[in-house]
Amino acid sequence: MTHIYQAKDFIQTAEGLVFAVVEQGLEAGKVLCFLRYRLEENVWHKLATQQANDLLTEQYPQYLFFSTVKSAYLHAVDVEDIAIHHQPRRCLQAILTKQNPDRIEQDLIALCQLFQPQGIPLQDLGVTGSILITAQNPSSDIDLIVYGRKLFHQLRNIIKKLIVANKLQQLDDVAWQASYQRRLCDLSYSDYVWHEQRKYNKALINHRKFDLNLLDHTELESLSYQKHGTIIIRAVVVDAQYAFDYPAKFLIAQGKISEVVCYTATYTGQAEQGEMIEVSGQLEVSSNGLQRILVGSTREAQGEYIKVLVA
């Protein structure tokens, strides 16, 4: 049976390393991914970006990879080295029928029980993050995957209504501060919250934060891009229909630059059609001359951002 490895899936190696898949499909027989967890003495340890890079450099260099398609250094695992393929859809279905769910799993089930009467097919949802490998703790967030763009936007509207009905809650100051600190983004706290509050892709259930992540069946990137340095521009968004995709995409009209592509969740859904944005990122030029700006060339995207300019 051929496995399809999708973004937000996790793959586990025999050494007890768990990588988050960042792109559907293979490059040179490898799954493009990023190391997130390490199993030591039967305990999962979440790794920061530098920790992950250092660990692979020192002990597992076979999982370091230069992607010629992305013109970037990534982590990658050969299909032959994958011991377990953790899949969000399967994980969620298993939790929904679990006999003795823990506290975080109970909150996940309660969330699904709010969505189902609204006509949301639960088989089109999945759960990723720590829950996917049973590494959750009492303070863990819930990372939901929504398979399909139409369903994703339907769910955003449902979340908005459930907040009004007080069945879900907007993030409070403590949750916003925690989210902001974790993101380490290049926006002020007030700018960050302003952008986030209008997205309706996160809320609280029983004081626990959950996030919605869209995964749609987009065509695989066939072009290869070369980086041409950092650039800051201002432009009007002419099309934002892919704003919540992975990667997020904003079509702009700015000379030869036709789009902004974003791989960091911080700026997913950041702008709407017709809005003026300021973008800081890497200018990339494709093999056939197309120009775009990449935001999220590193996981933290330091110095890179998208923000709406409000008159």
Spatial separation of the C-alpha atoms in residues 140 and 164, rounded to whole Å: 25
Residue 5 falls inside a structural domain: no
Flag whether pLDDT at 63 surpasses 70.
yes
Residue 220 falls inside a structural domain: no
Backbone angles phi, psi at 288, to 5 degrees: -110, 15
pTM recorded for the entire structure: 0.90
Residue 17 falls inside a structural domain: yes
Among residues 56, 86, 116, the one where a domain terminates is 86
Residue 3 falls inside a structural domain: no
| Most confident stretch, 41-45, 159-163, 283-287 | 159-163
Residues 132 and 74 placed together within one structural domain of the fold: no
Residue 158 falls inside a structural domain: yes
Residue 162 falls inside a structural domain: yes
Which of these ranges, 99-113, 128-142, 161-175, 209-223, has the smallest mean pLDDT?
209-223
Residue 4 falls inside a structural domain: no
Spatial separation of the C-alpha atoms in residues 276 and 295, rounded to whole Å: 17
Residues 182 and 243 placed together within one structural domain of the fold: no
Residues 103 and 198 placed together within one structural domain of the fold: yes
Confidence of residue 73 (pLDDT cuts 50, 70, 90): confident
Among residues 43, 61, 86, the one where a domain terminates is 86
What's the domain count of the chain?
A: 3
Residues 150 and 109 placed together within one structural domain of the fold: yes
Spatial separation of the C-alpha atoms in residues 99 and 96, rounded to whole Å: 9
Residues 151 and 267 placed together within one structural domain of the fold: no
Confidence of residue 194 (pLDDT cuts 50, 70, 90): very high
Among residues 183, 215, 247, the one where a domain terminates is 215
Q: What is the CATH number of the domain that holds 94?
A: 3.30.460
Flag whether pLDDT at 20 surpasses 90.
yes
Residues 162 and 256 placed together within one structural domain of the fold: no
Residues 138 and 195 placed together within one structural domain of the fold: yes
Long-range contacts of residues 25-29, Cβ cutoff 8 Å, at least 24 apart: 25/220, 26/79, 27/65, 27/67, 27/68, 27/69, 27/76, 28/65, 28/76, 29/78, 29/79
Residue 1 falls inside a structural domain: no
Residues 284 and 196 placed together within one structural domain of the fold: no
Q: What is the CATH number of the domain that holds 257?
A: 2.40.50.140
125: containing domain:
88-215
Residues 68 and 133 placed together within one structural domain of the fold: no
